Structure 1
Amino acid sequence: MTAAHEGGADPRVESVGTAVYTVPTDAPEGDGTLTWDATTLVLVTVRSGATTGFGWTYGAPPTAQVVTDQLADVVTGRCALDVPAANEAMSRAVRNAGRPGLIAGALSAVDLALWDLKARLLDLPLVRLLGACRPDVPVYGSGGFTTYDAGQQERQLRHWVEEQDIPRVKIKIGESWGGATRRDAERITAARRAIGDTTELYVDANGGYSRKQAVRMAGHLAQQGVTWFEEPVSSDDLTGLAHVRAAVTADVTAGEYGYTLPYFHHMLRADAVDCLQADATRCGGLTVWLRAAALAEAAGLEISGHCAPHVHAHAAAAVPNLRHLEWFHDHVRIENLLFDGVLDPAGGGIRPGADGAPGHGLTLRADLAEKYRTG
């Protein structure tokens, strides 16, 4: 705890900084609707006295400019302990700039940094500050990109299942906006063959299919024991998601592109999903992610954390209706590269806060990270 806080004065946010890191992929990556060869992490640091917290989002480099130009002055000078108040102030400040998209990512990164700062000021692991519901968080291996050949896909799946003992894995399908369904089916069959009968198999079409394509594909999914069908159609098509959900046996899931709390409300009211996904690096940080989890719980559904596993870990352990957290290859690789204190998914789960380190427990490997800094 800071000396200022011990003396009775509220600790204040004194500065907000940013850094941009762009890390090439270890192989070409792609899903049903997009391909990429590098990923950008936008880091936000907030300081109060001698204590610094940090958070991040994955997105375009101009996200850092939004933080500097539109959000830094909003939170500077505020009580560092009142994170929801800062979140609300930021949301109001960007009204005319347009909250969804890149600005939501910037707001989320600041919110995440503020939660880390608060926990460090109080010398608590973030999960202890939030209040734990569970000692560990189930994860699923996620990758299986459409750009992988058969050998790459099998090696990745076997790494998760045989070397890390993760009992649930996911591959990408919907290649070329649904234009390669035969290859999709072959890759699903090959994935099942690689992981055996006891490991859960998930697929993610990233909105690449039409409604009827998704329903037709569902027969093969059922045959191969697939239980998770993520974004079978665009997540903007809530009616379509609901129609697919009613027609298939796999759980239909979506929500990663939710930038505001009302988005999740509309998705739940439309009966569009069996499990809600939310991404704290997009939806408004942990402040809004926890509220999305409460919305899902009220609807009788579970929530799954989308990507950025070390961002979500502590909050995931703090909600009663968690299903699991995505152990996404691209982001795991970057977070392992840039930070010390990363978590180990061996056995299919992680234990945030188990080492007692304050905040989210990570420290930036500044010297190594500098190699990838682009802003």
Structure 2
Amino acid sequence: MSTIDHAAAVAYRFPTDQPEGDGTLAWNATTMVVATVTAAGTTGTGWTYAPAAAASFIDEDLAGTLAGADAMDIPALFAALNRRVRNAGRPGVAGYAISALDVALWDLKARLLGVPLTHLFGRARRRVPVYGSGGFTTYDDSATTAQLEHWVHEQRIPRVKIKIGESSGSAPERDLRRVALARRVIGDQVELYVDANGGNTAKQAIRQAQCMREHGVTWFEEPVSSDDLHGLRLVRESVEADVAAGEYGCDLSYFTRMCQARSVDCLQIDATRCGGYTGWFAASAVAAGHNLPVSAHCAPNLHLPAAAATVNLRHIEWFHDHQRIEAGMFDGAADPTGGLAEARSDAPGHGLLFREQAAEPHRVS
């Protein structure tokens, strides 16, 4: 038995390299909460991108649930953590906290066993497709161009995504101009995705979809709010009608963050929010039951081991904001050159080592 001695968390706030924004939000810093769980002199590490309150929640409410338990019994620990947050509510801060701890627990278990997570999970593939993601609405044309050129022409990533829906859909002309710019920069052979982050109304999104035909957009993420099920259905039905009429040269996929087989073409999963790796595999199984592929949302290096073990995976979002932090704060971050990334198989756990000294100036709690 490998008894858990200690669990804790620390929050860090990292400034963005330039202002970032999407259809409904703007920010100039990103907070990462790092959780650690220790047993038998070995430490597992997990993290999430969440309010600093998630670190306090781990220390004050969840750490005691793990103390004294067997580190190998992750299903029992996951259930206990979820019972513990009954009155706090499962989504939000509590969900972020459980997710970070679950990742730390799986990393700890693999390290105790002396195996990489990819071996513990079992690989479905050695390398995982990625897409470059960023293109924030706050970027000017030169910043957008530089980022796209880096992904496509330097790293040879064959699929990219930019943000649209600027200022809650109030700048549609600029949205379309930026889509056109992106297509010119990346050329005709690279897949182009867009994400409105729920910034549009249904009719705005339908008009945008029609106007983007000529630019070959093949993924329109959250065209309206993910809470607007009626609006999502209207947008989907409109586009499907146009596809059936031959208006598009290829299928358009409208991705939401809900697993409703009649509403989505792919399930987007975020292990930093949905319960860590345990939540990831549960969600991917639900998707598989509906014959749906899954795509990893943000936190690319965290997702790599689980994504490599997922048969119905489409790709990972190589999100600029999080990748920048992970590459700077962890030894062992992956390289997406060629549009494929590989989880580490030469070190135990997820193979990433957190650079505490480098992160210390950014510590907020």
TM-score with structure 1 setting the length: 0.93
Cα distance in structure 2, aligned partners of 1:238 and 1:349: 33
Q: Corresponding residue for 2:128?
A: 137
2:277 is equivalent to residue 286 of structure 1: yes
Q: Corresponding residue for 2:243?
A: none
Cα distance in structure 2, aligned partners of 1:291 and 1:200: 29
Residue type of the partner of 1:34?
L
Aligned-pair CA distance for 1:246? 2.2
Cα distance in structure 2, aligned partners of 1:222 and 1:275: 21
Which of 202, 208, 212 is the matching residue for 1:217? Answer: 208
Residue type of the partner of 1:251?
S
List, as ranges, runs of 4+ consecutive aligned residues in structure 1 with deviation greater than 3 Å: none
Cα distance in structure 2, aligned partners of 1:32 and 1:345: 27
Q: Corresponding residue for 2:34?
A: 43
Cα distance in structure 2, aligned partners of 1:41 and 1:81: 26
1:158-217 deviation line (CA, Å, top 9, x unaligned): 000011010000000000101000100000000000000000000000000111111111
Aligned-pair CA distance for 1:239? 2.8
Cα distance in structure 2, aligned partners of 1:368 and 1:76: 28
Which of 144, 153, 159 is the matching residue for 2:150? Answer: 159
Cα distance in structure 1, aligned partners of 2:26 and 2:269: 22
Q: Corresponding residue for 1:369?
A: 359
Q: Corresponding residue for 2:260?
A: 268
Residue type of the partner of 2:14?
V
* Secondary structure in 2 matching 1:138: strand
Q: Work out whether residues 41 and 56 of structure 1, in 8 Å CA contact, stay in contact via their aligned partners in 2.
A: yes
Q: How does 1:97-112 map to 2 (within 5 A)?
A: 97-112=88-103
Q: Corresponding residue for 1:69?
A: 60
Aligned-pair CA distance for 1:35? 0.3
Q: Work out whether residues 45 and 53 of structure 1, in 8 Å CA contact, stay in contact via their aligned partners in 2.
A: yes
Which of 306, 312, 315 is the matching residue for 2:306? Answer: 315
Aligned-pair CA distance for 1:57? 0.6
Q: Corresponding residue for 1:5?
A: none
Cα distance in structure 1, aligned partners of 2:357 and 2:87: 38
Cα distance in structure 1, aligned partners of 2:16 and 2:57: 25
Q: Corresponding residue for 1:250?
A: 252
Cα distance in structure 2, aligned partners of 1:45 and 1:168: 34
2:194 is equivalent to residue 200 of structure 1: no
* Secondary structure in 1 matching 2:208: helix
2:128 is equivalent to residue 126 of structure 1: no
1:315-342 deviation line (CA, Å, top 9, x unaligned): 0000110000000000000011111011
2:1 is equivalent to residue 13 of structure 1: no
Which of 71, 83, 94 is the matching residue for 2:74? Answer: 83
1:232-275 deviation line (CA, Å, top 9, x unaligned): 011112232222122224100021xxxxxxxx4xx314x22111
Q: Work out whether residues 170 and 203 of structure 1, in 8 Å CA contact, stay in contact via their aligned partners in 2.
A: yes
Residue type of the partner of 2:123?
A
Cα distance in structure 1, aligned partners of 2:70 and 2:302: 22
Q: Work out whether residues 18 and 44 of structure 1, in 8 Å CA contact, stay in contact via their aligned partners in 2.
A: yes
* Secondary structure in 2 matching 1:335: helix
Residue type of the partner of 1:367?
Q
2:16 is equivalent to residue 25 of structure 1: yes
Aligned-pair CA distance for 1:109? 0.5
Number of residue pairs matched?
Answer: 354
Residue type of the partner of 2:217?
V
Residue type of the partner of 1:252?
Y
Q: Work out whether residues 171 and 202 of structure 1, in 8 Å CA contact, stay in contact via their aligned partners in 2.
A: yes
Cα distance in structure 1, aligned partners of 2:177 and 2:290: 36
TM-score with structure 2 setting the length: 0.95
Q: Work out whether residues 52 and 117 of structure 1, in 8 Å CA contact, stay in contact via their aligned partners in 2.
A: yes
Cα distance in structure 2, aligned partners of 1:247 and 1:115: 43
Q: Corresponding residue for 1:232?
A: 223
Residue type of the partner of 2:168?
W
Cα distance in structure 2, aligned partners of 1:13 and 1:239: 47
Stretch of structure 1 that moved more, 119-128 or 193-202? 119-128
2:298 is equivalent to residue 296 of structure 1: no
Q: Corresponding residue for 1:3?
A: none
2:232 is equivalent to residue 241 of structure 1: yes
Residue type of the partner of 2:234?
H
Q: How does 1:302-341 map to 2 (within 5 A)?
A: 302-341=293-332
Cα distance in structure 1, aligned partners of 2:237 and 2:292: 16
Which of 341, 344, 350 is the matching residue for 1:360? Answer: 350
Q: Work out whether residues 128 and 353 of structure 1, in 8 Å CA contact, stay in contact via their aligned partners in 2.
A: no
Cα distance in structure 2, aligned partners of 1:238 and 1:132: 35
Which of 155, 174, 182 is the matching residue for 2:173? Answer: 182
Q: Percent identity?
A: 55
Cα distance in structure 2, aligned partners of 1:369 and 1:24: 12
Q: Corresponding residue for 2:247?
A: none
Q: Work out whether residues 239 and 272 of structure 1, in 8 Å CA contact, stay in contact via their aligned partners in 2.
A: no
